[in-house]
Amino acid sequence: MRKHCGTVYPPIWSTLLLPLLFLVVFEGQNGVLAFSPLHPGANNLLYGRHPCNIPNRLLPLGNNLPCRAKGCAALSDSYRIRGASSRQTTALSAIPIRMASSTLKTLHGDSTFVLTAILWLSTFGISLEKRTTLGKALSAPLATMALALTVANLGIIPFESPIYAMTNRYLIPLAVPMLLFDSDLKRVVTDTGSLLLAFGVGAVATVVGTLVAFPLLPLTSMGPNVGWRVACALAARHIGGAINFVAVAETLNISGSAVSAAIAADNVVVALYFAFLFAMSPEGEDDDDNESDNTQTEQPQSTDAISVVDPESVSDTSSSSGSSNINLSTLAVAISVASTLVAGGRGITRWILPPGTSALPMISLLTVIAATLRPNFFARIRSAGTALGIVFIQMFFATSGAAGSLRLVLQQAPSLFVFSALQIAVHYVVLVTLGRGLFRLPFRELHLASNANVGGPTTAAAMAQAKQWKRLVLPALLVGILGYATATAIALSLGPILLKLPTR
């Protein structure tokens, strides 16, 4: 643009384009901004609607109208159209920002755009965990939540959307049974040996840790009637895993900000705790003199064991019960079976329980019963179900992050960090006291069971492999799956107890 006497003029070539713009309108903070070369009665090209005196008419800004609107009084004279005063000329530099704001507002109401964003955020979280050191440290759920929290607070995606409600109402209930397709309780009992006892002690230790931590740190900073809900969700995670945290959070209607803060704080504590467990655990099969004779001695295929919970290793492997390949048939059957279990669980819940009761515990129970009665059938679709279930769970974490306030997350995370640390510390003390003192279980099994409690089957099997406890890889996986099957019900039963405890 050419500048003369403080006024900036558009280049000559731009006037050739103006006849093509009969009326191009942009939404602005103070009304409508429009370019119209065919507007009669003014040599300006920029017009504005002045709500202070003539609300509904497009007026030329160069006619010295006595406009005192707040927006007009604050107008910049950096870019002025010839013949207009500084307070009556809209800054051209604001137009791109207003255009972007208007476009985002439109996209926020577009469910397809929001769904696409949630799917990509879920994908990025998984990719970060697999491909980067930082992602591995954060984990896919936390990476996804952090990304979603950031883009939502930048205004790129909305804080509220029907897509978020759809994820919670339909996809999470489908994810729960799909992640429990391998929960054959007969196999858990027969193939885990004394590790099953260690896992049970660990679950009791988590319950004790929650009952000790909540009266001391009732999480009142999170708002009224919220602290006990978050405590139950964290207890579920420290007995089973992330799927149980999600199930309890959805059942108890925990807000997105509280979910984001809890996951962020707990992941830091869990990472530190895993480092402690690895440092304290011996390597090799024969380092512990008190090794139990009941532990399974058959060495499993590690890739097959991990495939139950790892979406990247579920394909092209085989189990003793049949093929675990992911293909169109297994995907279709997996989601159909999951939907049947969801429908059955919801129907039974409405029939025998009070209105408003969450169906997720009943859905979990039906899935465990079905997987125990028909293990061969569910073994064929477990990999497909796991892959779909992980995607749906990732979408839950993305929607929780998107619904969260960054300010609230930063405010609530410190108290949640202390609560989670105290809960896990008591868990470990009780586990070692009972496991070693009462049941004489080896440290190797106690630490592995604790890993399965706090982290789930994936991290437990990975720890067994890293420590060369080859006979414990499959048992670790199975007790972790048992945690998935039982943690939600145990954690929800803690709610009434926590509400009766005296707090500080």
Q: pLDDT tens digit string along 281-291?
A: 888 765 454 44
Sole residue written with tokens 């414990």: 472
Question: What does the pLDDT read at residue 221?
Answer: 85
Residues 177 and 30 in one domain: no
**Range with the largest mean pLDDT of 142-151, 182-191, 227-236:** 227-236
- Indicate whether 136 belongs to any domain: no
Give me the residues paired with residue 27 across strands: 32
- Indicate whether 265 belongs to any domain: yes
Percent of the chain exceeding pLDDT 90 equals 50
Assess whether pLDDT exceeds 90 at residue 44: no
Question: What does the pLDDT read at residue 8?
Answer: 41
Angstrom distance (rounded) from CA 379 to CA 385: 10
Question: What does the pLDDT read at residue 442?
Answer: 94
Question: What does the pLDDT read at residue 46?
Answer: 38
Tokens of 339: 């939907």
Residues 66 and 183 in one domain: no
Residues 69 and 178 in one domain: no
Q: 477 and 460 in contact (C-beta within 8 Å)?
A: yes
Span of 45-49, 255-259, 404-408, 410-414 with lowest mean pLDDT: 45-49
**Confidence at 200, pLDDT banded by 50, 70, 90:** very high
- Indicate whether 404 belongs to any domain: yes
- Indicate whether 148 belongs to any domain: no
Q: Which of 66, 98, 130 is at the close of a domain?
A: 98
Residues 369 and 493 in one domain: yes
Question: What does the pLDDT read at residue 285?
Answer: 66
Residues 164 and 59 in one domain: no
Residues 406 and 494 in one domain: yes
Q: 151 and 118 in contact (C-beta within 8 Å)?
A: no
Assess whether pLDDT exceeds 50 at residue 484: yes
3-class SS string, 222-252: HCCCCHHHHHHHHHHHCCCCHHHHHHHHHHC
Which distant-in-sequence residues (6+ apart) come within 8 Å of 4 by Cβ? none
C-alpha distances in Å from residue 118, one per residue of 112, 122, 193, 499: 10, 6, 42, 35
**Range with the largest mean pLDDT of 88-92, 134-138, 434-438:** 434-438
Q: In terms of Cα–Cα distance, which of 281, 277, 276, 289 is closest to 469?
A: 281
H/E run at residue 32:
strand 31-35
Segment 327-353 shows an average pLDDT of: 95
How many DSSP H helices and E strands does the chain contain?
20, 8
Question: What does the pLDDT read at residue 163?
Answer: 95
**Confidence at 444, pLDDT banded by 50, 70, 90:** very high
Angstrom distance (rounded) from CA 361 to CA 488: 7
Q: Supply the range of the domain harboring residue 52.
A: 2-98
Assess whether pLDDT exceeds 70 at residue 323: no
Q: Let me know if 223 is exposed, middle or buried by CB neighbors in 10 A (0-12, 13-18, 19+).
A: middle
- Indicate whether 321 belongs to any domain: yes
Q: Which of 65, 82, 98 is at the close of a domain?
A: 98
Please give the tally of structural domains in the chain: 2
Question: What does the pLDDT read at residue 64?
Answer: 40
Angstrom distance (rounded) from CA 426 to CA 434: 12
**Confidence at 324, pLDDT banded by 50, 70, 90:** low
Question: What does the pLDDT read at residue 24?
Answer: 34
Q: Which of 45, 67, 98 is at the close of a domain?
A: 98
C-alpha distances in Å from residue 262, one per residue of 116, 120, 254, 268, 419: 26, 23, 10, 10, 10
Assess whether pLDDT exceeds 60 at residue 389: yes
Which distant-in-sequence residues (6+ apart) come within 8 Å of 477 by Cβ? 305, 306, 308, 309, 457, 460, 461
Residues 259 and 342 in one domain: yes
Mean confidence (pLDDT) of the chain: 77
Question: What does the pLDDT read at residue 356?
Answer: 79
- Indicate whether 141 belongs to any domain: no
Residues 287 and 413 in one domain: yes
State the DSSP code for 254.
-
Q: In terms of Cα–Cα distance, which of 286, 92, 248 is closest to 168?
A: 248
Segment 409-438 shows an average pLDDT of: 95
CA angle 323, 182, 188 (to 5 degrees): 120
The alpha carbon dihedral of 395, 143, 305, 373 has a sign of negative
Span of 28-42, 311-325, 393-407, 470-484 with lowest mean pLDDT: 28-42
Residues 444 and 353 in one domain: yes
Question: What burial letters (b/e) apply to 228-257, b meaning 16+ CB within 10 Å?
Answer: bbbbbbbbbbbbbbbbbbbbbbbbbebbbb
Segment 406-419 shows an average pLDDT of: 89
Residues 166 and 73 in one domain: no
- Indicate whether 109 belongs to any domain: no
Residues 428 and 320 in one domain: yes
- Indicate whether 124 belongs to any domain: no
Give me the residues paired with residue 59 across strands: 48
Segment 230-251 shows an average pLDDT of: 94
Angstrom distance (rounded) from CA 258 to CA 353: 28
Residues 75 and 169 in one domain: no
H/E run at residue 48:
strand 46-50
H/E run at residue 186:
helix 185-192
Span of 116-120, 156-160, 235-239 with lowest mean pLDDT: 156-160
